[in-house]
């Protein structure tokens, strides 16, 4: 994705797939690429970023994301990442987080759907 300002946007994560005749994905956030790499907000994004080696700098241990991707025929309730999320808490298993602008200093340029970052302003 590319914003009209020329800033490249990267989906912060996509973790909900629902087969309903036509498959679609639920966008769990977006941010300028540099912001995402510097400070990913969504735990799935953080997991992805920790799953591959840095191209520069010191070597570090790869963390990975525990467990397996969900069965598309039986998606988990609430946030579909909750069975694998290291930050899951009470609302995650029962309510789907809303995509919104996070309450961060750079929140106007990004969005995230995670109960750790309640939507200050709903988007999409």
**What is the C-alpha to C-alpha distance for residues 5 and 14, in angstroms, rounded to an integer?**
23
Site for ligand SF4 contains 43 (CB under 6 A): yes
CB of 78 to ligand SF4, least distance (A): 7
> Phi-psi bin for 50: left (phi > 0), alpha (psi -120 to 50), beta?
alpha
For the window 46-85, what string marks contact with ligand SF4 as x by the rule CB under 6 A?
---------------------------------x-xx--x
Q: What SS3 class is residue 19?
A: strand
Site for ligand SF4 contains 40 (CB under 6 A): no
Which of residues 48, 75, 88, 98 is near ligand SF4 by CB under 6 A?
88
Closer residue to ligand SF4, CB minimum distance, 9 or 41: 41
Contacts of 113 (CB under 8 A, 6+ apart): 26, 27, 28, 29, 42, 79, 96, 97, 98, 99, 100, 119
**What is the C-alpha to C-alpha distance for residues 36 and 124, in angstroms, rounded to an integer?**
19
Closer residue to ligand SF4, CB minimum distance, 9 or 99: 99
Site for ligand SF4 contains 98 (CB under 6 A): no
Binding positions for ligand SF4, rule: CB under 6 A: 42-44, 79, 81-82, 85, 87-88, 92, 97, 114-116
């Amino acid at each position: 994705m590319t914003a009209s300002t020329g800033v490249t946007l990267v989906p912060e994560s996509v973790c909900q797939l629902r087969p309903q005749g036509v498959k679609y994905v639920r966008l769990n956030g977006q941010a300028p690429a540099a912001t995402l790499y510097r400070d990913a907000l969504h735990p799935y994004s953080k997991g992805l970023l920790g799953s591959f080696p840095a191209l520069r700098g010191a070597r570090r241990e790869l963390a990975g994301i525990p467990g397996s991707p969900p069965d598309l025929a039986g998606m988990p309730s609430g946030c579909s990442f909750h069975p694998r999320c290291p930050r899951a808490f009470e609302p995650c298993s029962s309510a789907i987080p809303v995509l919104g602008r996070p309450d961060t200093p750079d929140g106007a340029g990004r969005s995230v759907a995670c109960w750790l970052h309640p939507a200050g302003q709903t988007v999409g």
